[in-house]
Amino acid sequence: MTLTCMAIDDEPLALAKLKTLMDQIPYAELQETFSNCLDAIPYLTTHTPDILFLDIQMDHMTGIQLLEKVKVKPHVIIISAFEHYALKGFELNVADYILKPYGIDRLIQSLEKIKLLKETATAESKATRDYIFIKTDYRILKINLQDILYVEGMRDYLCIHTQTEKILTQITFRELQQRLPTDQFIRIHKSYLVHLAYIETIEKHRIYIKEAILPISQTFRDDFYEAIKR
């Protein structure tokens, strides 16, 4: 799971430091930064990152005013040099409050908290669903999970092989895996993801599913064999 992030801070050095630290954390990506809240509001109305890093004292509009004015969908992590805003921040349901100066350990602690929340929510959601919706051409199809045999990467497309048809979609493997239960589906190759229930035979690092013979690549081999042990 990759955490998508944005940041609002009127100090260029603060934004540069945050970006440097974020570049060292493989499961989080700082996608957009803003130097003031007013410029960030249009972005927040059209995008839903997982996390908003927010400074408090800024010109034109403070971070607190932004939270009071805009219904912010991301988890909010306040990064401030002023401790006395902490209570107000938590009243506005922020996920964490980091005091400047801070280091990568404190940042990771905060990200891990949100990562756990999202993973738990995703697992609960997957546990109650037995289908997904996939956009293909100009339609959105409902696909029952029990119908999916395996998924094949084909350049700019994924081909979902089901019991009855092949469905082409332009979503990525990462996006699809986030929608699928990890106890049922597993990646075996950069170009293949399989439904464990339909594996008939495994021989010489190859999987047989109906008429298909799919390779298990070295990259995914250990995780795959560990999964079938479980």
The pLDDT, as a whole number, for residue 127 is 61
The pLDDT, as a whole number, for residue 74 is 81
Which of 127, 143, 159 terminates a domain? The answer is 127
Which of 83, 111, 127 terminates a domain? The answer is 127
Give the residues across from 225 on adjacent strands: none
Domain harbouring 195, CATH code: 2.40.50.1020
Q: Are residues 108 and 153 in the same domain?
A: no
Q: Measure the CA–CA gap between 69 and 144, rounded to whole angstroms.
A: 41
**Which helix or strand (DSSP H or E) is residue 40 part of?**
helix 37-46
162-205 pLDDT, tens per residue?
Answer: 999 999 998 888 889 888 888 889 999 999 999 999 999 999 99
Task: State how many domains the chain has.
Answer: 2
Domain harbouring 77, CATH code: 3.40.50.2300
Q: Are residues 8 and 115 in the same domain?
A: yes
The pLDDT, as a whole number, for residue 97 is 92
Average pLDDT for 202-218: 94
Please answer whether residues 104 and 21 qualify as being in contact, where contact means their C-beta atoms are separated by less than 8 angstroms.
yes
Q: Are residues 23 and 116 in the same domain?
A: yes
Which of 127, 162, 180 terminates a domain? The answer is 127
**pTM for the model:** 0.56
Percent of the chain with pLDDT over 90: 57
SS3 content of the chain, % helix, strand, coil (to 5): 40, 35, 30
Q: Are residues 12 and 74 in the same domain?
A: yes
The pLDDT, as a whole number, for residue 82 is 85
Q: Are residues 49 and 150 in the same domain?
A: no
Range of the domain at 172: 131-229
**106-134: b (≥16 Cβ within 10 Å) or e:** ebbebbeebbeeeeeeeeeebeeeeebeb
Is the per-residue pLDDT at 128 higher than 70? Answer: no
19-69 pLDDT, tens per residue?
Answer: 999 999 999 999 999 999 999 998 888 888 899 999 998 888 889 899 888
Percent of the chain with pLDDT over 70: 95
Is the per-residue pLDDT at 160 higher than 70? Answer: yes
Mean pLDDT of the residues in the chain: 89
Q: Are residues 176 and 153 in the same domain?
A: yes
